[in-house]
Amino acid sequence: MIKFLHSMIRVSNLEDSLKFYIDALGLEEVRRKEVPKGKFTLVFLKAPDSDAEIELTYNWDSIEDYGNARNFGHLAFSVDNIYDMCASLQQKGIKILRPPRDGHMAFIKSPDNISIELLQKGKPLPSQEPWASMQNSGNW
């Protein structure tokens, strides 16, 4: 089973973005996470009648120009067993760019170069090979 979780969008001005998504579009903030060590803020929004969320990522010190499609980060899905899912994807010729070394998270890309995050439903699975020693590949 697979369930859509959220789409992530990088924003250059959190206040302006919240005004747009909340005030203009009518989404509601469901949670927020400040990460001082990483110098970023995550704000999760959703439509009143939906479980799917938009994750706004605000990098505090970023001067990156998001006008070149870097503002869209990834789609995220929860999976029942991240190892089985990644093995199945590999069998279908899909490259695992960020292997699930931690039993929790992996990244792949769509044919159109859209990053897809796979997250283990519930608690992370115990680390296991070949995933535990597999290196990252490319970018996601």
Which are the catalytic amino acids?
117
The whole-angstrom separation of Cα 8 and Cα 74 is 5
The whole-angstrom separation of Cα 31 and Cα 25 is 17
138: left (phi over 0), alpha (psi -120 to 50) or beta: left
